[in-house]
Amino acid sequence: MSRADEIAGNLTAVRDRIAAACRAAGREPADVTLVVITKTRPASDIRILADLGVSDVGENRDQEAVGKVAELADLDLSWHFVGQLQRNKAASVARYARYVHSVDRPRLVSALDAGAQRAGRGLRVFVQVDLESGEHAGRGGCPPSDVPALCAAVAAAEHLDLVGLMAVAPLEQPPAPAFERLAELQVRIHADHPAATLLSAGMSGDLEDAIMAGATHVRVGSAVLGERDDVR
Ligand SMILES: *Cc1c(COP(=O)(O)O)cnc(C)c1O
């Protein structure tokens, strides 16, 4: 089987899962955007995805993303940055990303805002929430109690648009209750920031739970492109 056939089959299966989850949740499939996470995968895979109608792709390392963005400049893709972000990479990310899903501290806000201004483009920002508790806390994401202040900082930044919240399901806990906590926090944030309507949650293993909780953006890697060798 060719790589294109393999990806096409996987993509159909994931789109079917999204559609079924939407039916179960009483939601429209058009309200859920599939962001295919292409980290560690070659640009040729992204070309195949684009041929199959995928327009949103996500990367988690700036250096890797920069190379692919350059190689695929002829395609009309929306790039999502989903990884832990260093302040000194913010200006680079602002040049190609349409969305950043991983803003989790105030110092990143000013760096991204400056980067977006220099790049002459707006940047859509999800604030990443840390849903972990106990020993796994602190793997990225803002503690829930700090989320309102961080969202206010993003909303106040001239070149950033606060679009919503993002989270990764906690390790060693069922995803559904964690995504429900995220959705409750999103309701509070939306009350203060009416433009913040998006929720980025759900990956290959838990996209159904995320869609049930209201996810508008699911970030799916291995279910479309196969298992990665390196776990990241
Ligand atoms: C890798 C990654 C994903 C995709 O994970 P899969 O389990 O391969 O679907 C989603 N979100 C983030 C932040 C990631 O780093």
For residue 205, CA distances in Å to 52, 55, 111, 190 come to 22, 22, 33, 27
pLDDT at 135: 66
Give dist(CA 196, CA 161) in Å, integer. Answer: 8
Q: Is the C-beta atom of 204 inside 6 A of ligand 1?
A: yes
pLDDT, tens digit (0-9, with 9 covering 90-100), for 139-196: 689 999 999 999 999 999 999 999 999 999 998 899 999 999 999 999 999 999 999 9
- DSSP bridge pairs for 200: 166, 217
115, 90 contact by CB (below 8 A): yes
Q: How far is the CA of 59 from the centre of ligand 1 (A)?
A: 9
Q: Is the C-beta atom of 139 inside 6 A of ligand 1?
A: no
pLDDT at 230: 61
pLDDT at 133: 76
**Per-residue pLDDT for 137 more than 90?**
no
Q: Are strands 56-59 and 33-37 parallel, antiparallel or unpaired?
A: parallel
Question: The tokens of 143 are what?
Answer: 């503690």
pLDDT at 1: 87
Q: pLDDT grade, residue 229 (50/70/90)?
A: confident
pTM of the model: 0.97
Phi and psi, residue 223, nearest 5°: -65, -20
Number of CB atoms found within 10 A of residue 79's CB:
22
For residue 34, CA distances in Å to 5, 54, 68, 74 come to 19, 8, 19, 21
User: What atom of ligand 1 comes closest to residue 39's alpha carbon?
Assistant: 1
For residue 209, CA distances in Å to 5, 22, 174 come to 28, 10, 10
Q: Is the C-beta atom of 222 inside 6 A of ligand 1?
A: yes
pLDDT, tens digit (0-9, with 9 covering 90-100), for 30-74: 999 999 999 999 999 999 999 999 999 999 999 999 999 999 999
Q: How far is the CA of 171 from the centre of ligand 1 (A)?
A: 13
**Per-residue pLDDT for 96 more than 70?**
yes
Q: How far is the CA of 106 from the centre of ligand 1 (A)?
A: 24
Give dist(CA 10, CA 31) in Å, integer. Answer: 21
Mutation probe of ligand 1 site: the residue of 7, 45, 60 with most atoms within 8 A of C-beta: 60
pLDDT at 172: 85
Mean pLDDT of the chain: 96
